[in-house]
Structure 1
Amino acid sequence: MRRWVLGWLVVLSALSLAQTRVVLGVGGKTAVVYLPLTVVERLGYFKEEGLDVVIQDLQAGSRTLQALIGGSVEVVMGFYDHTIQMQAQGRDIVAFVQVGRYPAIVLGVRSDLAGEVRSVADLKGRRVGVTAPGSSTHFFLNYLLAKNGLKPTDVSVIGVSVGAQAVAAVQNRQVEAISNVEPAITLLQERGLIRILADTRTTKGTREVLGGEYPAAVLYTTRAWLERNPETAQRLVNAMVRGLRWMWGKSPEEIAQVLPEEYFLGDRALYLKVLANSLESFSPTGRFSDTAPLRPLVVLSSFDPKVAQAKIDLKRTYTNAFVDRVPKR
């Protein structure tokens, strides 16, 4: 009898573990900046941590932030700079694992306009595509405008989403320039549709544009959720760090093998180039450095008066506590 009861307790414990459900929002699941999320999902690491992660693809970072504030998602895979922006508005949002150490955002101008638009300053009066207004691709554009003596209102911003939709916006001349992420950028380059003005996919490019490492894609949530669900947060981080470790040192071909066919947009060879252009941007450890979070604060302060005027406590916008407890495998 005792053995039977113990057996059922083990079964019930396993069922309880398997039933931990998390609703996670992402601003464009096929965007390469968020690729580790798909890798972790496809390799089964969430399930191995006893998590049922329900992923809602909301197609833009600003929408996922709104979903978190509104309570329709519990955790977001989005850009770190939103945590700073929210603190300036009195909201306590915390990033708890770093996925991208560089933004991997690129600003490009349509090739047929390259003779007229030779620098960011020449974008004045132009239509510029971003994933969505208020997203990190928009922040990146605003920073570059400010750096070149322009105001955010000096250009017309149009939301063009990611992937094929972003490519179509350039191809159909809906926009004259674009601030976006992979796979759209390599697709546009390969078709000769854009000329690059600023590129943060690599160490070299990020250093030139932003001065060095810049926390980009992260998992973030409200401090209240994190404090209520520390075990669930730890399991999420365990899975994400395991995925980042798996990706580090892998070739584009090896990573492509675990991805869904639809990610390749009908051209696997081209997608391998996309991966080759992007792999340097991912964090190998999931850990935030003590100095890199200052860069997003500088960027946001250059064009957002609320951030510039607020007293931001960067230590409250991120934590390494969960990453530091990830088991060494």
Structure 2
Amino acid sequence: MSSRRISRRTFTTAAVFAAAVGVPLVRAQGARPERSRVTIVHGSRSSIPALPLTIAEQLGYFRAEGVEVEFVEQAPAARSLQDGGAGPGDVVCGPFEQVVQLQGRGQFFQSFVLQGRAPQVAVGVSTRAMPGFRGVAQLRGHRVGVAAPGLMSGMVARLVLARGGLDPADVSYVGLGAQWEAVSSFRAGQLEAIAHTDPVITHLEQRGELRIIGDTRTLKGTQEIFGGPMPAGCLYAPQEFIQKNPLTCQALANGVVHALKWLQTAGPSDIIRTVPEAYFMADRALYLAAFNKVREAISPDGVMADEAVRTAIRTVARFDAAVRIDRIDASRAYTNDFARRAKDKFHA
């Protein structure tokens, strides 16, 4: 039992070590980034969790920092930087648990700016398939659709079901495709329950097709499911890339944190004017409703909480046999250096 617990003392020591020998300081104010063009790999830019990245691009915040960003869609995005950095990307926009999973396999990547401070995944049951639903135990023997079985949607689903007394083997997990493919599968009766992000969840909720039984779109719901704060989307890259390109990473962090600040006060008309029309999927009202559902889950400043990292490591270790808490170096999984400098710049 003790081998799977991460102590506060160990974690603090790691954080101090990171400050001493980790990310190089960016001293030259106004200096140009080492790279004028960066490729960011992502899963789905039209999903609500990726909204900060969309805002930074649409409002020219990356360009203002001297970096042109090319986006490459690939799901799951983590695959693009595995095998020693091979693939189409320099940086990944993905959930923080991927960083922990990669480290558990001996691949060291580091998060350098946080976008979401809660996973934004909700779990619900079909009101059509299970109209008399009374409790999680009724899902035994049924099918649960998840955005990605080995990533956050799968973890949230398993945690919610575990609270109801179900083991992973008690249900069949089904990997889903893109957002509206997930909706189609759900409506076709291929699933009794689903774990996904917005706007999929809000779309099904609004039409009375889904009953929510677990929700990490709020901080309270996240605390209940994970037993602590749980980080979500972030920008991460191989440590070597961050070491060699600190000004480039700072430029990217500045762009994201600038977008996060904008989102704190953005109203419906601001969102409508800024987000590409295609992302609304022909329903602006739905998109705005989904945004309001997850608003508090969006990081206000890009800074990762130490407690959230501890929660992430405990959670991943619970579900991934390749990850052992005693072998995870928290100091190599994230740095707040870039986000804090960006916060000083835009939140002063």
Q: Common fold, TM-score beyond 0.5? A: yes
Q: Is 1:64 aligned with 2:67?
A: no
4+ runs deviating over 6 angstroms: 16-19
Q: CA deviation at 1:172?
A: 1.2
Distance 2:332 2:66 in 1: 28
List runs of 5+ in structure 1 lacking aligned partners.
Answer: 1-13
Distance 2:193 2:205 in 1: 13
Distance change in 2, residues 1:254/1:131 (3 Å): same
Distance 1:204 1:248 in 2: 19
> SS of 2:110's equivalent?
strand
Aligned with residue 323 of structure 2, among 297, 307, 314: 307
Indicate if the aligned counterparts of 1:143 and 1:300 stay in contact, CA closer than 8 A: no
Aligned with residue 122 of structure 1, among 111, 131, 138: 138
Indicate if the aligned counterparts of 1:18 and 1:50 stay in contact, CA closer than 8 A: no
Q: CA deviation at 1:148?
A: 4.1
Distance change in 2, residues 1:202/1:252 (3 Å): farther
Q: Comparing both chains, which one has the higher relative contact order based on Cα–Cα distances under 8 Å and sequence gaps of 6 or more?
A: 2
Counterpart for residue 169 of structure 1:
185
Counterpart for residue 275 of structure 2:
259
RMSD in angstroms over aligned alpha carbons?
2.1
Q: Is 1:246 aligned with 2:262?
A: yes
Indicate if the aligned counterparts of 1:253 and 1:272 stay in contact, CA closer than 8 A: no
- How many residue pairs are counted as aligned between the two chains? 312
Aligned with residue 91 of structure 2, among 57, 75, 82: 75
Distance change in 2, residues 1:188/1:117 (3 Å): same
Distance 1:146 1:284 in 2: 31
Indicate if the aligned counterparts of 1:23 and 1:54 stay in contact, CA closer than 8 A: yes
Q: Is 1:328 aligned with 2:317?
A: no
Counterpart for residue 16 of structure 2:
none
Indicate if the aligned counterparts of 2:129 and 2:189 stay in contact, CA closer than 8 A: no
Question: What is the one-letter code of the residue matched to 2:206?
Answer: E
Counterpart for residue 284 of structure 1:
300
Give TM-score, length-normalised by structure 2.
0.84
Distance 1:312 1:259 in 2: 38
Distance 1:303 1:139 in 2: 7
Counterpart for residue 26 of structure 1:
42
Q: CA deviation at 1:157?
A: 2.1
Distance change in 2, residues 1:37/1:174 (3 Å): same
Residues 189-204 of structure 1: matches in 2 within 5 Å? 189-204=205-220
Q: CA deviation at 1:126?
A: 1.8
Aligned with residue 51 of structure 1, among 48, 58, 67: 67
Give TM-score, length-normalised by structure 1.
0.88
User: CA-to-partner distance for each residue in 1:72-117, whole Å, 9 max, x for gaps?
Assistant: 2111111001111111111111111010001110011111233465
Counterpart for residue 100 of structure 1:
116
Q: CA deviation at 1:169?
A: 1.4
User: CA-to-partner distance for each residue in 1:120-174, whole Å, 9 max, x for gaps?
Assistant: 3433322211123323212222333444443333322222234322211111112
Indicate if the aligned counterparts of 1:111 and 1:192 stay in contact, CA closer than 8 A: yes
User: CA-to-partner distance for each residue in 1:213-269, whole Å, 9 max, x for gaps?
Assistant: 211011111111111211111110010001101111222332232011111111112
Distance change in 2, residues 1:309/1:238 (3 Å): closer
Distance 2:305 2:35 in 1: 34
User: Percent same amino acid at aligned positions?
Assistant: 38
Question: What is the one-letter code of the residue matched to 1:243?
Answer: A
> SS of 1:307's equivalent?
coil
> SS of 1:305's equivalent?
coil
Question: What is the one-letter code of the residue matched to 2:182?
Answer: A
> SS of 1:241's equivalent?
helix
Distance 2:137 2:299 in 1: 32
List runs of 5+ in structure 2 lacking aligned partners.
Answer: 1-29
Distance 1:178 1:194 in 2: 9
Indicate if the aligned counterparts of 2:230 and 2:311 stay in contact, CA closer than 8 A: yes
Distance change in 2, residues 1:162/1:106 (3 Å): farther
Counterpart for residue 3 of structure 1:
none
